[in-house]
């Protein structure tokens, strides 16, 4: 029997996702909907096996190993597992300087 975790979205992660979807929707509403559903489906699947995501390499290089990620190319779903909960913290475009974005958010 597998343990079920509850997936929670941080406000900043929700804003990230909304920004992604709105940007894509300017050019293609159908594609925006598809991207939204892929990201939500992938993050929802964390309720079963949250440890399957890799440790975020950009942070691991700085000794920070609490955060994991799943990829929905080209986006990275950054999350943390604590007790029986998964916290989705960011959804970032991998084509950006993700290390700087994450370190800035962790400091703030």
pLDDT tens digits for range 23-40: 999 999 999 999 999 999
**Dist CA 62 CA 25 (whole Å):** 36
Predicted local distance difference test score (pLDDT) of residue 106: 67
Predicted local distance difference test score (pLDDT) of residue 101: 78
- Could you tell me the CATH number of the domain that includes residue 27? 3.30.2310.20
Residue 87 resides in a domain: yes
Predicted local distance difference test score (pLDDT) of residue 19: 96
Residue 83 resides in a domain: yes
Residue 92 resides in a domain: yes
Range list of β-strands (E), 11-74: 54-55, 67-72
Q: For residue 71, which phi and psi values (nearest 5 degrees)? A: -110, 130
What is the domain count for the chain? 1
Predicted local distance difference test score (pLDDT) of residue 100: 78
Count, residues in the chain:
108
Contact of 68 with 55, CB cutoff 8 Å: yes
Residue 44 resides in a domain: yes
Residue 27 resides in a domain: yes
The parent domain of residue 43 ranges over 6-107
Residue 32 resides in a domain: yes
Residue 1 resides in a domain: no
Predicted local distance difference test score (pLDDT) of residue 82: 93
Q: State the burial class of residue 67 (Cβ atoms within 10 Å of its Cβ: 0-12, 13-18, 19+).
A: buried
Number of helical (H) and strand (E) elements in the chain, helices listed first: 4, 5
Predicted local distance difference test score (pLDDT) of residue 16: 96
Q: Which residues face 87 on adjacent strands?
A: 8, 80
Q: In the chain, which stretches have pLDDT less than 50?
A: none
């Amino acid at each position: 029997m597998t343990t079920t975790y509850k997936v929670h979205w941080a406000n900043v992660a929700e804003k990230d996702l909304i920004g992604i979807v709105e940007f894509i929707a300017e050019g293609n509403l159908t594609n925006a909907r598809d991207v939204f559903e892929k990201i939500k489906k992938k993050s929802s699947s964390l309720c079963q096996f949250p440890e399957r995501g890799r440790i975020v390499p950009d942070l691991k290089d700085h000794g920070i190993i609490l955060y994991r990620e799943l990829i929905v190319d080209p986006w990275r779903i950054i999350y943390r597992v604590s007790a029986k909960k998964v916290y989705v913290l960011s959804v970032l475009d991998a084509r950006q300087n993700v290390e700087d974005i994450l370190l800035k958010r962790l400091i703030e």
